[in-house]
Amino acid sequence: MLPELHTDRLILREAELEDGPALQEMQNRPEQLALQAVEPDEVADGTARLQSYMEYRGPDDARRLYVYVAHEKIRGALVGAGALSRPHPKIGTLGFGIATEYWRRGYASETAARLIAFGFEEVGLHRITADIAVENMASRRVVEKVGMKYEGTARDCIYAQGRWWTEAKYAILARDRMGTAAPLPSATRVDAAPTLT
């Protein structure tokens, strides 16, 4: 069982089978699907999806998936979900979703920031990435707010819902959170003459 994670207003706990119907209801809304490069049948059965998670998450130190549900501390309402997947032992991929009735309350930022902290501090990741549909400006603002840097765009990289999706690529390194990030090299023309000062 994963540790419970806390923010100012939320409690994040590992997803359980009982969360399936609520997640299914949240993820199948047209407003949600319009912003995600997934096929509707991938999120059609929340309980089956959680069963798959439990089967493939991996054991302890070799765990590949960390899926959390986010509840309000005060009322206990399920407001969303967040996840880290680990394609490599030191690299994680962040995902999050907030139920439409809780949009624009800062819950996505709280969830994303807490999962990033968990990934670096407790899982020991070096790099965390996020791939976001370019038209999903709210999620792009969230990852920028929590310190992720835009690294580029992958054009027509996923085919889902009868169309090609273009995704914005973001990442944050462990050292970025510590304030020791090396500055990115500036773009210079190869044929530019050096400037003397």
- The CATH class that applies to domain 5-177 reads alpha beta
What are the domain boundaries of the chain?
Answer: 5-177
| pTM of the predicted protein model | 0.85
Q: Residue 185's pLDDT is what?
A: 35
Over range 77-95, report the average pLDDT: 95
More confident residue, 34 or 187: 34
pLDDT tens across 137-175, in order?
999 999 999 999 999 999 999 999 999 999 999 999 999
**Residue 183 binned pLDDT confidence (cut-offs 50, 70, 90):** very low
- Provide the b/e sequence for 177-190 (b: ≥16 CB within 10 Å): beeeeeeeeeeeee
Which pLDDT score is estimated for 179?
A: 60
Using pLDDT thresholds of 50, 70 and 90, give the confidence band for residue 26: confident
CA angle 61-118-180, nearest 5°? 110
